Structure 1
């Protein structure tokens, strides 16, 4: 991550994950609230399991890409942890970053096992997600020694989102399907994604003047900027939730109406005789 691209890659990953989770959980929440026939088709356990398998496969793929990029990218350690010639540890920052990707890869692997077999309890995926977020924050916390004041500050602000996600994911172990917790995790994930981009622009600006890492005014601005990122994430999650829900409700209504009409034609549903009497009376008027 010691470059602009190194921060843009995880930033994009978390931003896309936050947006995807928002859409997914909004759809599932809408279908859980609707007890009609259509909801059982749109939110069946089989369809949810397929989505979880695809999602876990994508996360595992990007985790592997991240680990390979940290190890074999420009200036990477190429799997060398200790330099025996110079007698010192080699590229520990890259090893830290690769370890962060490793734990998200472990989460994705466990999630694949859970949703393709019956070998583990369902709540284990939330536990592994909480551990992955905790490990990310834990490594970042001890990743900042000897850095500039602003460099340390932007990474500490990142930890608020990371440890917040850790706590929320842990609570989801016991309250799975709670839409408030799910959307809160989505919001913090979007914050983490956009903030990675912000850190990249601050520490490794692709164009324009470099930031003064010792200026206290820059720290004040960056702190305010973090609040803007949080507000932006809340707006994104709220808008997506409001957009998805009416569309899902309309889809459920159309699906339910189609299934009911189909059952009426097959005779699977019988209307009361009073219905036909009323219909005949109105036809004679």
Structure 2
């Protein structure tokens, strides 16, 4: 992860899931609120989506682990270098551990929604643990680094631990649209901020390097973090509005069809008489 691509990979992972959640949960809430069941809004339909989501999560985690372990300068599954008598590429191992817990979360999602052996709330519990482990690893990830390097990672921890707490609350308040949208916004923030960290620490294309000891850069980066979250909230709001509009449109289209069905049934009854 000590390069731009290494930050873009997890950033893309969280952006994809944050954007997906910002569409899925408003759509599910609108379907439930209007008591309307059609193909994508049925309980079975959303259950299949949860299984697919878990499989994608596990696949992304596996890709992340393989990328961390088998890059040209990676550890290649070697934890200790006996020749130099020191740990081998511990940063890569930390990142692999982070991906491992997200992979476990994906597997638990699949088991939760395909069998009755796992309690329903276990998927949220495992996801909360995975996000917490990510923050726990990153907290001890940047000790001894430059001031701005530490600061951008500490800002990342705000969204990480906030997301972990939010998901933990969902264990007891499953289906709460406020918690689900809050989680979505923090996930989008986390993904976009990973990309921002890549631009700050490893400018692509040979761009100008940031002064990692400049206090002014710290002030700007903090303000930039707030802009990122404002943008995440805007995305969540727009997707919520689009999902609600989509369900309402489907309802309006369904009502004339239902009226025609009732009329035809009434005509059949008159004919029978």
TM score, norm. by length of structure 1: 0.90
Q: Structure 1: how far apart are the matches of 2:75 and 2:166?
A: 34
Q: 1:252 maps to which residue? A: 251
Matched, 1:98 2:96: yes
Give the Cα separation in 1 of the matches to 2:2 and 2:163: 24
The Cα of 1:145 is off from its aligned counterpart by: 1.6
- Aligned residue in 1 for 2:63: 65
Determine whether 1:164 maps to 2:174: no
SS across alignment from 1:39 = coil
Counterpart CA distance in 2 for 1:177 and 1:261 is 35
Structure 1 unaligned residues grouped into runs of 5+ = 272-285
Residue equivalent to 2:5: 5
- Superposition pairs of residues 150-229 of structure 1, within 5 angstroms: 150-206=148-204, 207-229=206-228
Provide the residue aligned with 2:17 in structure 1.
17
CA distance in 2, matches of 1:95, 1:162: 19
Q: In structure 1, the residue corresponding to 2:142 is in which secondary structure?
A: coil
How far has the Cα of 1:263 moved from its partner? 4.8
Q: 1:185 to 1:268 in 2, by over 3 A?
A: farther
Summarize the alignment of residues 47-62 of structure 1 with structure 2, pairs less than 5 Å apart.
Answer: 47-62=45-60
Q: After TM superposition, give the deviation of residue 151 of structure 1 in Å.
A: 0.5
TM superposition shift of 1:119? 1.1
Q: Deviations over 1:124-148 (max 9, x none)?
A: 0000010000000000001112211
Give the stretch that moved more between structures: 193-202 or 43-52: 43-52
Structure 1 contact 110–125 (Cα < 8 Å) conserved: yes
The 5 Å alignment of 1:52-131 reads 52-131=50-129
> For the Cα contact (< 8 Å) 1:39–1:252, is it kept in 2?
no
Distance 1:34 1:212, change over 3 A: same
Contact 1:31 1:42 in 2 (8 A): no
RMSD (CA atoms) = 1.8
The structure with more radius of gyration: 1
Q: Which runs of 5+ in 2 are unaligned?
A: none
Instruction: Report how many residues are paired.
Output: 269
Cα distance change, pair 254–84 in 1 and its aligned pair in 2 (3 A)? same
Shift in Å, 1:258: 2.3
